[in-house]
């Protein structure tokens, strides 16, 4: 929830299928499953820009949603990555999996990715 009272999250609709929602000005928007089998929204900044992930086996697509436009960040951030937070400056934090080579945390800002380091091999990220 941001300072304007906009809320993001997800609902479990059947089994492991989740659908992201965006609530603003009394209107609940169901984002559906986006590109595949499910979608989640994790965070929203004070400008109403939300970040989340959509699952399309075997990939996870990170995306932003501003109340009207969904922007898929799949090709900008990596073939299996996710975004979990966004601040008011538009900086995003997330993770990327290198499929067998481990996963790393990153900050994404204005088209640039800064690697924050790799996770322990035993740590599972994503869904």
* pLDDT tens for each residue of 86-124: 999 999 999 888 655 667 889 999 989 898 887 665 545
pLDDT, average across residues 2-17: 90
Whether the CB-CB separation of 62 and 94 falls below 8 Å is answered with yes
Tell me the pTM. 0.86
Average pLDDT value for the chain = 86
Q: Is the pLDDT at 127 greater than 80, yes or no?
A: no
Q: What pLDDT is attached to residue 121? A: 52
Instruction: Pick the more confident residue, 115 or 15.
Output: 115
Lowest mean pLDDT among 53-57, 82-86, 108-112: 53-57
């Amino acid at each position: 929830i941001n300072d304007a009272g906009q809320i993001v999250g997800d609902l479990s609709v059947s089994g492991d299928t989740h659908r992201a929602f965006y609530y603003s000005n009394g209107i609940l928007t169901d984002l559906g499953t986006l590109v595949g089998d499910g979608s989640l929204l994790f965070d929203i900044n004070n400008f109403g820009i939300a970040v989340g992930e959509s699952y399309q086996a075997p990939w996870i697509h990170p995306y932003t949603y501003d109340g009207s436009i969904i922007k898929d960040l799949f090709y900008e951030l990596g073939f299996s990555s996710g975004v979990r937070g966004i601040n008011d400056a538009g900086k995003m934090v997330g993770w990327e999996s290198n499929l067998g080579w481990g996963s790393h945390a990153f900050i994404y800002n204005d088209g640039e990715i800064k690697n924050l380091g790799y996770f322990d091999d035993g740590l599972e990220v994503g869904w």
